[in-house]
Structure 1
């Protein structure tokens, strides 16, 4: 099976280089029977999967299937939404993220997030990167930390001579890499990316994808994307979500259909619903 969304050359390269499913790697997130609701209305039902260290895991699926809801569970961003309720278990390195006594602020330091639209602070480039470390008391060697973060985000050479300029003056692609650098500055373990390139032009998108490849040697990365070409290019593992209609459960909600090696998801999926989606027959 070859999808019209994924060119055959990309699939050939993907199939040759895709790593094994990572069973020998450390499990970073172990999700069991996760349900998420908003105001009592079910949004995501019965999700169970594992995310392993130094892999890029992509979440794909049609709009409304719960991809963004799910990724926000990993750093407890749903806590900030009135009426949101998360049931089930998410273990992070074996510890329940939602247990009493777990500090959501510390969770968000360890599990950084980059959003769909670049959101730099209306401050200097330097102060954008230094903001998190300052809040957390990580003030020693701040200049070096800012430089390391900008280098890691492949932005240093472009901004090193204008660190005091307002970050809002950067291009869209530069702003998104700045937001990645800002996340890296507080030394996270995981980087969550919710459609990080959807608002960018193709050249900027390519730079973000190259950056993802570079960063996964140091970080575990989870990415939500509507772009299946992008999932095929950057992800080691892919999870396909879909929408289920159950009137007895209040209408539409998202479900996890399949989670496997990216090459398998796009060339030989186990579930017909996945095949229909990646071939363009659905969604």
Structure 2
């Protein structure tokens, strides 16, 4: 079967917010685990080179939606996704899509840092090597240094690249995982509660990094911290019981929400 590559396209007019066009367009997205419907027809446009925060109480569907964007739900037995999700106009659920290539285009950073049991260098080099991105050792070295630099980690690890990635602190491990994700030049980076296992200092560093990365990447972050959503995102989507209740500019969502359920959640009346 022929596969279809997802190709980046130039930004167009008609952005959903500010000067940025939608990078990801979701229409009528439903997710079923067996007979249970976990998402109820989500319509959501995610803007290019912005941070979009997904908030809501546990079990509301925000992580389920996030995993739809790089088809991580494909590996969950009994999971079924309906509706349409397009990246730059390409339907990522088209049967001809190369899922491995999709996951290079749409990187993922998980809740707990999960470096490979390899050296720091090999953690970052792994993706470019298997995808054939680097032409020789010199180019691979450049990708590793560039990725670690963009992840704010190069100065801390440049003299111990041959040491295990698992030997780093929790915050450093998470930045290593971010470096690993960006080493394959993704267009979108998904982050599922990337700071939940970190201390406040490491969390602040990751938040600074997210703000720097959005100059080049579209970022979608799931967070239980409304303060974090307010600090790092330009747009916020509030999920509740499988519904996308409200989506808009972060400042509007937190200061003047339109929906009563949003107001109740952000003021702590439930969740």
Task: Tell me if both proteins adopt one fold, taking TM over 0.5 as the criterion.
Answer: yes
- For 1:89-118, what per-residue CA distance to the aligned partner results, in whole angstroms no more than 9, with x for missing partners? 001111111012011111100000000000
Paired position in structure 1 for 2:226? 228
Aligned to 2:130: 135
Offset at residue 32 of structure 1 (A): 0.5
* Aligned positions, number: 254
C-alpha separation in 1, matches of 2:122 and 2:95 = 34
Residue 148 (structure 1) aligned with residue 143 (structure 2): no
Aligned pair 1:31/2:26, yes or no?
Answer: yes
Alignment match, 2:266:
278
CA distance in 1, matches of 2:66, 2:44: 12
- Deviation for aligned residue 1:56: 0.2
Q: For the residues of structure 2 that align with 1:100 and 1:63, how far apart are their CA atoms?
A: 31
Structure 1 residue 159 corresponds to structure 2 residue 169: no
List per-residue Cα deviations over 1:183-221 (Å, max 9, x = no partner). Answer: 000000010000000000000000000000000000000
Shift of 1:162: 0.2
Runs (4+) of structure 1 moved beyond 4 Å?
none
Q: Distance in 1 between matches of 2:24 and 2:69?
A: 8
Distance between the aligned counterparts of 1:154 and 1:139, measured in 2?
Answer: 22
Aligned partner (choices 199, 206, 214) of residue 201 of structure 1: 199
Partner of 1:106: 101
Are 1:90 and 2:85 an aligned pair? yes
The 8 Å contact of residues 110 and 192 in structure 2, kept in 1 or not, is answered as yes
Match of 2:57 among 40, 62, 74: 62
Distance 2:16 2:255 in 1: 15
Match of residue 173, structure 1, among 168, 171, 174: 171
Q: Any idea what the Cα deviations from partners look like across 1:228-267, whole Å, max 9, x if unmatched?
A: 0000000000000011xxxxxxxxxx11000000001000
Hey, what does 1:255 align to over in structure 2?
243
Q: Higher relative contact order at CA 8 Å, sep ≥6: structure 1 or structure 2?
A: 1
User: Gapped runs of 5+ residues in structure 1?
Assistant: 1-19, 244-253
Separation in structure 2 between the aligned mates of residue 50 and residue 241 of structure 1, nearest angstrom: 14
RMSD across aligned C-alpha pairs, in angstroms? 1.0
Give the deviation of 1:23 after TM superposition.
Answer: 5.5
TM (norm. structure 2) is 0.92
CA contact (8 A) 2:106 2:186 kept: yes
Q: If the length of structure 1 is used for normalisation, what is the TM-score?
A: 0.88
Taking the aligned partners of 2:205 and 2:96, their CA distance within structure 1 comes to: 39
* Deviation of 1:49 (Å): 1.1
Equivalent residue in structure 2 for 1:269, among 250, 253, 257:
257
Q: Alignment partner of 1:257: what SS?
A: strand
Q: CA deviation at 1:138?
A: 1.8
**Tell me, which stretches of 5 or more residues in structure 2 are unaligned?**
1-14
- Of the candidates 109, 112, 118, which is equivalent to residue 113 of structure 2? 118
